[in-house]
A and B are shown apart, each in its own frame.
Chain A
C-alpha cells in the first residue's frame, strides 16, 4: 500500500526567509509525486509534480521540490516566503503502474508566513 507522511502539522516562517514543507512517501516502484495548495474555502490547487528526470522540480508561484529517492522524500521549498503563501499544503503520491492510479494524500501542513 502507498502512503504519505507530512510530519509537521504547522510550519512558521518569517516573510523573506526560505521555507521548507516536508513530505516522505512509501510506494512500490518509482513514485509519481505531487504538491497541492489549499486556500481557505477553496479546492486544492496544483503546484508541481515529479514524474521522472531532474530531481529538482519547479512549479507555480516560485515553489520547487526536490525528489530524493534514497530518503524517499519530496520536500517543498521556496527561497523567499511571502505572507500570501500562508495556506494548507498537501503532498500526494501515486504508484506508476497497476490499479487505477488513485493518489494518496498526506494530512496536510499549515504554512504560516509572518510579516
Chain B
C-alpha cells in the first residue's frame, strides 16, 4: 500500500508569512508524529497525535507552531509569522498504534523542505 506522503515537497516563503504543511499517514495508522530536521542533525520531535487528539505537544518550540488532525487521518502543521530559523525539513511519521506505542515502528514520509527567506 501507499506510504506516508507529505505535501508540498518544497516550500519557499518570506519571513513573517503563514505556512501549512500536510501529512497523509498510512491508512489505518492511529499514531502520527511531526519532526523537524535541521542540516546535520537527527529528527527533533515536535508533536504526537493518537487519533484526533494531540497526546504530546511538548516539542513545539513556541506558540507560532500548531498542528491539527481533525478526523484522525490527515494532519496539518501550521506555522505563523515564519522566521528564518524555521527553515528545516519537516518530517511526518505514522505508526499502527496497536502493538504498544513504545515498540511501534514509525514509517516516515519524504519530508517538506521549508525555506524562509
State the A residues within 8 Å of B (CB). Answer: 4, 32, 34, 36, 41-46, 49, 51, 90, 92, 94-97, 99-108
Contacts and interface: CB of A to CB of B under 8 A. Distances in A.
Given A102-B56, A102-B59, 10 more contacts: A43-B93, A43-B110, A44-B43, A46-B107, A49-B103, A90-B42, A90-B43, A94-B102, A100-B48, A100-B56
B91 to A, nearest CB: 6
Contacts, number: 62
Nearest to A99: B56
Contact of A108 (B4, B41, B56): B41
Main secondary structure of the interface of B (DSSP, over half): loop
Given A95-B102, A102-B56, A41 B110 contact: yes
Interface residues of B, number: 27
Contacts of A106: 42
Contacts of A100: 48, 55-56, 101
